[in-house]
């Protein structure tokens, strides 16, 4: 994932998918905006369900030349022909995932609000580091990845960075000069019309 001047959009799927309707919804969103990557981020551990979701999302994504990574399931990434993995345990699994998936796969690492974890993940070979939540968010321990973290990272570290969790149009505008990617998930999927929600959320980028 190259680092552009203007931040790119990185979609995060809802934790549970209706495979009757979600692929069409995903296709409409991908056709409405330039998306760099999609993360399949399911809450279930059911391998059959994950596999069916991976197949459905891969078909939609790859038809549009969009990369698809999966949260944490390194073996699933290989089995279902996905483009890589997004690790949620900071730097701990990066080297093992890279070794397993090879040099061409995308290996990303979520590092919460920790600058130290981000640096460690980058040194271990992560293609990108994600920090968050950047806004008020139900998940996590109440800590926020503030704008100073992204400012420091963009000045000091070359590894691309993703801002995610609790995004608002105001936060997108404020963070646009300081981040490489916006990780967008429930902000749009919880809306009646995800396409309109995405357009409103990212209006500052146009």
Contact by Cβ (8 Å): 37, 6: no
CA atoms of 146 and 48, how far apart (whole Å): 38
pLDDT above 90 as % of the chain = 93
CA atoms of 68 and 86, how far apart (whole Å): 10
Which residues form the domain of 22?
8-85+133-155+162-205
Predicted local distance difference test score (pLDDT) of residue 106: 98
Residue 123 lies in a domain: no
Predicted local distance difference test score (pLDDT) of residue 3: 46
Q: How many domains does the chain have?
A: 1
Q: Is 17 left (phi over 0), alpha (psi -120 to 50) or beta?
A: beta
Helix (H, G, I), strand (E, B) or coil at 123: helix
Residue 142 has pLDDT above 90, yes or no: no
Q: Residue 196 belongs to a domain with what CATH number?
A: 3.20.20.70
Predicted local distance difference test score (pLDDT) of residue 1: 52
Residue 107 lies in a domain: no
pLDDT-derived band at 140, boundaries 50, 70, 90: low
Mean pLDDT, residues 27-45 taken together: 97
Which residues, 6+ apart, have CB-to-CB distance to 32 below 8 Å?
195, 198, 199
pTM of the model: 0.95
Residue 54 lies in a domain: yes
Predicted local distance difference test score (pLDDT) of residue 206: 87
Contact by Cβ (8 Å): 84, 67: yes
Mean pLDDT, residues 168-182 taken together: 97
């Amino acid at each position: 994932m190259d680092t552009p001047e203007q931040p790119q959009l990185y979609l995060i799927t809802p934790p549970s998918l209706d495979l009757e309707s979600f692929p069409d919804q995903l296709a409409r969103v991908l056709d409405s905006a330039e998306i760099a990557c999609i993360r399949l981020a399911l809450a279930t551990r059911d391998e059959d369900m994950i596999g069916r979701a991976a197949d459905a999302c891969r078909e939609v994504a790859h038809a549009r030349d969009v990369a698809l990574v999966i949260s944490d399931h390194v073996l699933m990434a290989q089995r279902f022909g996905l483009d890589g993995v997004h690790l949620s345990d900071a730097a701990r699994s990066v080297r093992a995932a890279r070794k397993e998936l090879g040099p061409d796969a995308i290996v990303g690492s979520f590092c919460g609000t920790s600058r130290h974890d981000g640096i460690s993940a980058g040194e271990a070979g992560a293609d990108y580091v994600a920090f968050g939540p950047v806004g008020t968010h139900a998940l996590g321990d109440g800590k926020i990845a503030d704008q100073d973290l992204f400012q420091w990272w963009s000045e000091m570290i070359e590894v691309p960075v993703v801002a995610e969790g609790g995004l608002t149009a105001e936060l997108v505008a404020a963070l646009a000069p300081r981040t490489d990617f916006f990780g967008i998930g429930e902000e749009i999927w919880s809306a009646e019309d995800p396409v309109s929600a995405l357009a409103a959320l990212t209006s500052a980028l146009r």
